[in-house]
Amino acid sequence: MSAPILELDNIFTDIAQYHILHGVSLHIPEGGVHVLLGRNGAGKTTTLRTIMGLWQAKQGAIRFRGEDITKQHTSDIARKGIAYVPENMGIFGGLTVEENMRLATLDGSFDQDRLQRIYTLFPALEKFWNSSAWSLSGGQKQMLAIARAMIEKRDLILIDEPTKGLAPAIILNMVEAFREIARETTILLVEQNFLFARSLGQTVAVIDDGRIAHSGTMAELVEDVALQTRLLSLSLDAHQ
């Protein structure tokens, strides 16, 4: 396995008086899709927000390509090549699709090859290029949020529950898009949808009550029904 692009070492994060993460340690190898699974409230979103510096870790260290980014400002972390797609998508509704995309470029100009790839993956974005982002459907907004993370070369993309509330046809579209993105970028995907996660993930970590309860390859988890049941209270058989 390649050297980790991202390491979380014994991270503790509090939100107000609540202790959310209790010593989370993760090693994300470079390349491919890596999944963080867990039920609601387990600490998945907090983990991503702590990596981005949106919430400060109280203790522990976060290293990106070996550099300690634990106390760095969110914008500095983003400029190191980490993109973030939040659960609520973070779309600027009052801006057009084009303006949303332009904002995701650091110098305001588009790489036309990348733009064409995005249009191929998400044709709706080309169609609604000059429309207000408010006018997009939920699925189109998710496409825009992901396209924004793709418009420039990033080393790592953190994506929080991208399938939430989406129709199955759009989820299939997402799988294709993530495979395309993963050719050049590492993805850390937070999910509850195990079927979606297993179709993409190479490694998986399961978080429960702010602690990593399991980590390993996705293949191991898919084959071990007892482990699935223990960790996630589910088995793939029940989903098929």
d(CA 87, CA 217): 24
Residues whose CB falls within 8 Å of the CB of residue 219, separated by 6 or more in sequence, listed in order: none
4 bridge partner residues: 29
How far apart are CB 100 and another protein at their closest, in Å?
Answer: 8
Q: Is 219 in the site for another protein (CB under 8 A)?
A: no
d(CA 205, CA 203): 7
How far apart are CB 90 and another protein at their closest, in Å?
Answer: 4
Residues 13 to 42: which contact another protein by CB under 8 A? none
Q: Is 129 in the site for another protein (CB under 8 A)?
A: no
Q: Is 99 in the site for another protein (CB under 8 A)?
A: yes
Select from 84-92, 116-124, 213-221, 227-235 the region that touches another protein (CB under 8 A).
84-92
How far apart are CB 1 and another protein at their closest, in Å?
Answer: 28
Identify which of 230, 206, 229, 203 has the alpha carbon closest to the alpha carbon of residue 218. Answer: 203
How far apart are CB 74 and another protein at their closest, in Å?
Answer: 4
CA 158 from centre of chain: 3
Q: Is 54 in the site for another protein (CB under 8 A)?
A: yes
CA distances from 103 to 85, 91, 130, 239 (A): 14, 11, 14, 39
Select from 22-30, 73-81, 117-125, 180-188 the region that touches another protein (CB under 8 A).
73-81
Q: Is 73 in the site for another protein (CB under 8 A)?
A: yes
**CB count, 10 Å around CB of 170?**
18
Q: What residues make contact with another protein under the rule CB under 8 A?
A: 52, 54, 73-75, 78-79, 84, 86, 90, 92-95, 99, 102-104, 106, 108, 134, 148
